Amino acid sequence: KNEVEQSPQNLTAQEGEFITINCSYSVGISALHWLQQHPGGGIVSLFMLSSGKKKHGRLIATINIQEKHSSLHITASHPRDSAVYICAVRSTGNQFYFGTGTSLTVIP
């Protein structure tokens, strides 16, 4: 059983659409990270959350600690948002667990 589950695995959207990626986890956590990986391998940290909600530009991340669930929303999606989005958690046991990623393609 994976400690972190993401859905969907693949997502295709039209430019301008509102996108939601979900992440559920089964361990106690101290922090949850949303990461973006473009082809070629480079990873960028989008958000680090331990509670509530954070917003950066068109991206919004929320977390519900009681339900062990987080969502990443992209408003007004753009082709440059095409990437793999990865949910990662730091457990209270100081281990990192990663979801398998959501591959997003935004079509102009």
Q: How many Cβ atoms sit within 10 Å of the Cβ of residue 46?
A: 19
Residue with tokens 């753009």: 78
Distance CA 2, CA 86 (A): 14
Binding to other proteins by CB under 8 A, coded x per residue (else -) over 24-43, reads ------xx-x-x----xxxx
Q: How far is the CB of 31 from other proteins (least distance, A)?
A: 6
Encoded one letter per residue, x for contact with other proteins by CB under 8 A and - for no contact, window 42-81 reads xxxx--x---------------------------------
What is the sign of the dihedral through the CA atoms of 84, 48, 16 and 99?
positive
| Continuous H helices in the chain | none
Q: In the complex with other proteins, which residue's Cβ is closer, 19 or 29? A: 29
Residues that bind other proteins (CB under 8 A): 30-31, 33, 35, 40-45, 48, 86, 88, 90, 94-101
